[in-house]
A and B are shown apart, each in its own frame.
Chain A
Amino acid sequence: MIIFEKVSKIYPPDFTALSDVDLIIEEGEFISIVGQTGAGKSTLLKLIYAEEQPTSGRVYFKNRPIDGIKRRLLPYFRRNIGTVFQDFKLLPNKTVFENVAYALEVAGDTNEEIASKVPKVLEIVGISRKSNAYPVQLSGGEKQKVSLARALVHHPSVLIADEPTGNLDPISAAEIVDLLLKINGLGTTVILATHNKNIVDKINRRVITVDCGKIVRDQKKGKYLI
Chain B
Amino acid sequence: MKKIKLKRTIREGCVNFYRNGWLSVATVIILATSLFIISMTVLIGITGKFVLKNIEEKVSVAVYFNPDVGEEEIFDIKSKLEKFTEIKSVNYISREQALSELNELEKDNSSIRQALEEIGENPLLASLVINASKTEYYDIISKAIANSNFSDRISRINYEQNKVIIERLANIITLVEKVGLALGVMFVFLAVLITFNTIRITIYSHRQEFEVMRLVGASNIYVEMPFVVEGVLYGISAGFISLAMIFLTAKYISVITYKVIFQGGLMDYYLGHFWIIAGILLVSGMALGVVSSFIAIRKYLKV
A interface residues (Cβ-Cβ under 8 A, vs B): 49, 51, 71-72, 74-76, 78-79, 83, 89-93, 102-103, 105-108, 110, 150-151, 154
**A interface, by DSSP: helix, strand, loop or mixed?**
loop
B19, A75: Cβ atoms closer than 8 Å: no
Name the B residues within 8 Å of A51 (CB-CB): 215
Contacts A93-B16, A93-B20 given: A106-B2 contact, CB under 8 Å?
no
Residue of A nearest to B222 (CB): A106
B2, A89: Cβ atoms closer than 8 Å: no
A120 to B4, CA, bound (A): 23
| B105 contacts A by Cβ under 8 Å | no
Name the A residues within 8 Å of B212 (CB-CB): 89-91
Shortest Cβ gap from B22 to chain A (Å): 13
Sampled A-B contacts (30; CB under 8 Å): A51-B215, A71-B220, A71-B303, A72-B220, A75-B217, A75-B219, A75-B220, A76-B217, A78-B214, A79-B217, A83-B215, A89-B208, A89-B211, A89-B212, A90-B212, A91-B212, A91-B213, A92-B209, A93-B20, A102-B213, A102-B216, A103-B216, A103-B217, A105-B5, A106-B5, A106-B217, A106-B219, A108-B2, A150-B216, A154-B217
Contacts A71-B303, A75-B219 given: A108-B213 contact, CB under 8 Å?
no
| B8 contacts A by Cβ under 8 Å | yes
Shortest Cβ gap from A46 to chain B (Å): 11
Residue of A nearest to B20 (CB): A93
The one of B215, B217, B222 in contact with A89, judged by C-beta atoms closer than 8 angstroms, is B215
| B218 contacts A by Cβ under 8 Å | yes
Residue of B nearest to A109 (CB): B4
The one of B4, B211, B218 in contact with A110, judged by C-beta atoms closer than 8 angstroms, is B4
Name the B residues within 8 Å of A154 (CB-CB): 217
Residue of B nearest to A82 (CB): B216
The one of B4, B16, B215 in contact with A78, judged by C-beta atoms closer than 8 angstroms, is B215
Residue of A nearest to B208 (CB): A89
Residue of B nearest to A98 (CB): B15
Most buried by B among A74, A76, A110: A74
A71 to B214, CA, bound (A): 10
Shortest Cβ gap from A150 to chain B (Å): 6
Shortest Cβ gap from B213 to chain A (Å): 7
Residue of B nearest to A76 (CB): B217
B217, A108: Cβ atoms closer than 8 Å: no
A91, B209: Cβ atoms closer than 8 Å: yes
Q: A75-B218, A79-B217, A106-B217 are in contact. List 5 more A-B contacts (CB 8 A).
A: A91-B212, A102-B216, A102-B218, A107-B217, A108-B5
Name the A residues within 8 Å of B208 (CB-CB): 89
Name the A residues within 8 Å of B220 (CB-CB): 71-72, 75
Name the A residues within 8 Å of B214 (CB-CB): 74-75, 78
Name the A residues within 8 Å of B211 (CB-CB): 89
A105, B215: Cβ atoms closer than 8 Å: no
A93 to B15, CA, bound (A): 9
Contacts A91-B209, A91-B213 given: A106-B218 contact, CB under 8 Å?
yes
A92 to B215, CA, bound (A): 15
User: Which 9 A-B pairs give the minimum distances between C-beta atoms?
Assistant: A106-B218, A79-B217, A78-B217, A75-B219, A103-B216, A89-B212, A93-B19, A75-B217, A106-B217
Shortest Cβ gap from B17 to chain A (Å): 11
A110 to B3, CA, bound (A): 11
Residue of B nearest to A150 (CB): B216
Name the A residues within 8 Å of B20 (CB-CB): 93
B303, A106: Cβ atoms closer than 8 Å: no
Shortest Cβ gap from B205 to chain A (Å): 10
Interface string of B205-236 (1 = CB under 8 A from A): 00011011111111110100000000000000
